[in-house]
Amino acid sequence: MMNFIFLNVICPFCGTFAFAVLFCVPKKYYLQCGLTGLVGWLVYLFASHHTSVAMATFFGTLGVVLLSRGLTVIMRCPITMFLVPGIFPLIPGAGVYNTAFYLVTSQLDKASASGLNAIKVAFAIVAGIVFVVPIPRELFRLEYWRRKIG
């Protein structure tokens, strides 16, 4: 149980935090970047038990982009501060590596299967970003909803 918590909470947070450092995000946003990656990974993890890997990645990306949009409004900074590091845990790095490995070792059937899965995950990430980013900025402000309701 401790290994599960460590691997699925601490590692995505630290990985996203470290990528934010590499991406030269200002220090005041490191915690929010780590939380963005953590939320995306937890949504992915929950969804992966109920759907395919590509759909779970899509839902994880939706979580990252929605949180990034909200943090953009709250922290008054560009969305890329949170979006780029937050997507990091969802990138299909192992799938791309395996595809290249199978191509080099002439295992074309395994290369095509691994490559197709990596492409599905990459398209799921793009689709998640494309669906949320065009939402108007006002919808992420509390004042907008207070005026609508009251």
Q: Over the stretch 34-50, which tens digit does the pLDDT of each residue have? A: 999 999 999 999 999 99
Mean pLDDT of 113-123: 95
- Check pLDDT > 80 for residue 62: yes
- Check pLDDT > 70 for residue 150: no
Closest CA relative to residue 137, chosen from 80, 66, 86: 66
Which of the four pLDDT bands, split at 50, 70 and 90, describes residue 136?
confident
Say if CB 99 and CB 118 are below 8 A apart.
yes
- Check pLDDT > 90 for residue 17: yes
